[in-house]
Amino acid sequence: MFIYLEKFRFRVFTSQLGKKSSLDQIQNYLQDIQYIHTEFCQGNTMRWAIAWTFDETFHFPEQCQSQKALKVF
């Protein structure tokens, strides 16, 4: 597995979560690392996704930021 990661040099890692409390825990863990998150809703089912990077030269595009964060009050 490590050889595979070394060969392709992944820049962004992602995960889909089924519990909001899991998202909060991961955000606390990644507080010093660049990350973004979003939520999916289909009917009564909610899912959350988070993406993070350890690469300081990579920046998530503005379009990927949460729409809630971009709203002007």
CA distance 10 to 55: 9
pLDDT of residue 47: 92
How many domains is the chain built from?
Answer: 1
pLDDT of residue 65: 64
On whether residue 48 sits in a domain, the answer given is yes
Q: Is the pLDDT assigned to residue 50 strictly greater than 70?
A: yes
On whether residue 41 sits in a domain, the answer given is yes
pLDDT digits (tens, 9 = 90+) for 3-37: 445 555 778 889 999 999 999 999 898 888 888 99
Q: What domain range includes position 27?
A: 10-57
On whether residue 40 sits in a domain, the answer given is yes
On whether residue 23 sits in a domain, the answer given is yes
On whether residue 21 sits in a domain, the answer given is yes
On whether residue 1 sits in a domain, the answer given is no
The type of residue at 2 is F
How many C-beta atoms lie closer than 10 Å to residue 27's C-beta? 13
